[in-house]
Structure 1
Amino acid sequence: MQERPSMTEYPAYFQDYMKLVPEGNIVALFKEQERQTSNLLQGLTDEQARFAYDIEKWTIKEVIGHLTDTERIMSYRLLTIARGDVTPLPGFHEDSYVLQAKFTEMTVASLLAQYKAVRASTIALLESLYDQDWVRQGMANGHVTSVRSLAYIMLGHERHHHNILHERYFASATYPLNRM
């Protein structure tokens, strides 16, 4: 699947994520992003990953968990719509998910293992889709959404968090530098 979704295939609030997704084969983009995310985070110590750049902001561990949970939810939405299920899908409250998951109590290694497993599952799902599946539309969080837009949203969402990690976490004067 190469064709980008039109603006009618997703809620307007996802436009910023869409702009972050480069041109290219969607499955190849997912594979490359998995390599980038793994390379970015795999050398972190648990101490570094407990860092939050400000009060009431997530720790790096919570960001990793949030990326994984969001992809789980978006992949479920993608699967549901791709299979022609017209059941309206609910939204989710990301802060509640992060709070309930207790990601800060997990190791970086376990969080990255979950991330990689979810990403591998998402890639396998995308590789199983036929051309007609990509353009199917359904309702998610009260908005019309297409299968291909959900794939782009996942990629853009993760790229958005890469930018935040670089700009607000790793660039912070208080970030613990003892990287191994």
Structure 2
Amino acid sequence: MAEKPSKTEYPAYYQDYMKLVPEGNIVALFKEQERMTTNLLQGLTDQQASFAYGTDKWTIKEVVGHLTDTERILAYRLLTIARGDVTPLPGFREDAYVQQADFTGMTVASLLAQYKAVRASTIALVESLNDQDWTRQGMANNYITSVRALAYILLGHERHHHNILHERYFASATYPVNRM
């Protein structure tokens, strides 16, 4: 399954995420993104990953935790809809999730291990889907959403946060550069 979803398959507020996802084999896109995220984060020290570019902004550790939590939630939605379950699925409050988690108390290595485990599970799920599964639709956060839209939203969401990490965190004049 490599075909991008139409604009009728997801809420309009996800359009910016969709624009970030290139054409290609969906499984290959998930695997490549996992390599990119791993490469981006594995060299960070805990001090660097504890950086936030503003007083009311998440730390890098919190961004990674948010990516992992969001993937868990969206993959559950994807699974539920792919299996034909018509139960309306709730939204979630990302800030509340980050606030309740102790991502800043975790190491970069443990956050990255969680991310990789969740991504491996998502890839296995995506690989298991057949053509009919991809086009199924269900209700998530009060919007009709398709299985393939959820997969692309996952990819676009992470690309969005990669951009923020590069533009606002790593490019910040106050980012703690490793001075060895």
Common topology (TM > 0.5): yes
Distance 2:97 2:32 in 1: 27
Please list every run of 5 or more consecutive structure 2 residues that lacks an aligned counterpart in the other structure.
none
Q: 1:112-127 alignment to 2 at 5 Å?
A: 112-127=112-127
Following superposition, the deviation at residue 2 of structure 1 comes to 1.2
Following superposition, the deviation at residue 55 of structure 1 comes to 1.1
Following superposition, the deviation at residue 179 of structure 1 comes to 6.5
CA contact (8 A) 1:44 1:179 kept: no
What's the TM-score, normalizing by structure 2?
A: 0.99
- What whole-Å deviation, never above 9, does each CA across 1:7-42 have from its counterpart, x for those lacking one? 000000000000000000000000000000000000
Q: Percent identity?
A: 84
Structure 1 segments of 4+ aligned residues over 2 angstroms from their partners: none
Q: Which amino acid aligns with 2:52?
A: A
> How many residues are aligned here?
180
Query: What residue number does 2:28 align with?
Result: 28
CA contact (8 A) 1:66 1:98 kept: yes
Following superposition, the deviation at residue 102 of structure 1 comes to 1.0
Alignment of 1:68 with 2:68, yes or no, is yes
What's the TM-score, normalizing by structure 1?
A: 0.99
Distance 2:60 2:50 in 1: 6
- What whole-Å deviation, never above 9, does each CA across 1:113-141 have from its counterpart, x for those lacking one? 00000000000000000000000000000
CA contact (8 A) 1:89 1:140 kept: yes
Query: What residue number does 2:155 align with?
Result: 155
Q: Which amino acid aligns with 1:92?
A: F
Q: CA RMSD in A?
A: 0.8
CA contact (8 A) 1:45 1:179 kept: no
Q: 1:14-53 alignment to 2 at 5 Å?
A: 14-53=14-53
